[in-house]
Chain A
Amino acid sequence: MADRERDSVSGTETTGHEWDGLKELDTPLPRWWLYIFYASIVVAVVYWVLMPAWPIGNGYTKGVLGFSDRINVTADVGALRSARAPMYQRLANASASEIAADPELQEFARAAGESVFGDYCRTCHGAGGAGAPGYPVLADDVWIWGGSLADIEHTLRVGVRADHPDTRMSMMPAFGRDRLLTSQQVDDVTEYAISISAASSRLQPDRAAAARGEAIYQEQCAACHGATGAGDRSVGAPSLNDDLWLYGGSREEIRRQVEMGRGGVMPSWERRFDAGTLRALAYYVHEMGGGEPDAPPAPVTTPAATPEPAQNGQPNAPLR
């Protein structure tokens, strides 16, 4: 130490190495840096004592503070649940119009509904209720089992062809597969179904076949789908008058449905969700665009000031 050389300009010791007359300074670490480094070591040791730190076998040192992320998360989730509970409580007792009149409740119902829909319903019904072949579109105004908030919620509760005792149940016979009708008869009734639907302009049904099919329709199909094909929600029979088809709208696809009589299954959600969540979910679906009013629509009395002129002759959807 004593014989180490000092640089005359900086006053710092040199390392003693010399390259072509250049010497290297042995500048010590800055004090403040060194102290922070020592302090960090102390902090680390204190941390080991206080917090979970070292793995031992299958466990780990728990630390005297007993900190655990798992417990914290459980507590956080619990706190969140109880914080939201009053809102769900209010939701469970609110009607569609009550929800719509209360911006806070509405916002909550939308958010909660969207989140649950995304987790459980979207897989089949698509984002935003876009639907898929065999899985009904929820965003349109066609409802198999009814489109009021109460109807939607009931469908959610009991499911469709599910294991709930009161489940929505309808079973279209597989007319072709089960040989209830001959192949020719299936063809004819398909032409008839097309002829009474809005698809007739598009698919140009065979008039003669349709005429033959009418008799079969009235005998086999009218009980559920109605004499005019308007459908019957009480038995879950879709309307055949529009041009929206659950299993596809080409001639082949329509025929295939007559032949196979397919029907999908939706689980009953009653046991999975509480009343508030179910109401939120129903509200979200109801709001996708095709929701219908709860009470049977009052007979439309056209007021003096006519609401917006209806385009293409379709009536304005009634006020929700």
Chain B
Amino acid sequence: MSAPLRGAPETILIVGASLAGLAAAHALRAQGYAGALTLVGDEPHLPYDRPPLSKQVLRGQFCDDTTLPRHPDLRAAFRLGTPAQSLDLDARAVTLADGARLRYDRLLIATGTRARPWPNPDEAGLADVFTLRSRDDAARLSARLRAGPRRVILVGGGFIGFEVASTCRDLDIPVTVLVREGAPLSAALGPRLGGWVGGIAREQGVDLRLGAEIERMEAPGGRLAAVLLKDGARIEADVLVAAIGTVRNVAWLDGAGLAADDGGVTCDGYGRVLRANGDIVAEVFAAGDVARWPNPHQDERLVAVEHWGNAQAQARTAARNMLAGPAAGLIRHDHLPDFWSQQFGRTIKLVGLADGADSLAIVHGSLAEGRFVALYGREGRTVAAASVDSARWLPAYAAAIRERAPFPPFEGAVDQPRIRIEEP
């Protein structure tokens, strides 16, 4: 164990100037922290919001400036456009790419994730191959979509890919979605609901191909012309968006001795990071997409939750705990994961994690109506609830998930059909 913390912090450093970093900064000030506060970010922008990037921004509905509001009294120094390069736990200092060395009493690691690059570097380098994580990515892709491509190929069956596909349809651009699995969105929603969303996408003109993988791209003269699939099919297209997941930004922690790898930076339940040998580093915390912690709603399994709501809640918990003195004053991060997505004219919301569910029940509405609440069960307990255009009752199911209620948690409610339990 590291030595107990002495004294109130006077210098707090946050690495990663985005959603989690800014939320932590606000929370620190709201709790009366008056000392020095610095946010380091490798992007040149002030903290901005990402969810609109694949929705309104791409559709051209908002101006592309999604800068997050900052409290006029935040009194934080932003060092933007300079990545942190290394962390020295013993000296309590972070070195930036420009050589600056920043000391801290408390550190928050909030470096999030980046888009997983297309695995073939030559193809990834093509001007017509895009990924989407940052504002600049969105601006580039948006300009390209507005220029009216012949066809866009989206690789990946996740939410961001589906949101981009939906936007393409809104802009009347032909789009093919390639999903390696047998159903889209199945990691988050399971094959049944994922398949249902896939059906909606098809109804709206998406050429959805399941079990499809790219063999190679054809790019004569450096411009994308077509992709060849492993099954021999050839699809002509001039834009490709790879939405194949994320990679956690932990490279700068190499050599620091933390328990950090592709799965994220490992924390305890209070957000304090662990050394590779399992010891707690009492003055260093992690929050947001980069963090992985024992989740009380998942039987204390180590999980990372790459959701907007979690980034904020975890940042607030970390801020609280940074200022708390003895261990007894620490609070646990027990946020129930929640998530939303807008695509094909619908709003999908999810609370809990459906991952590993063994049963499913539609408890309000129906797939046929296109508005419903679905519950997920695992080993007899309710672990997640998803809604499509009917989020009204979700809070009650969220409470049931928190309480580890049986599956299904109750029957005979208002507007509830007779519950039939199915495969997820």
A, B in one complex: no
**Residues of chain A at the chain B interface (Cβ within 8 Å):** none
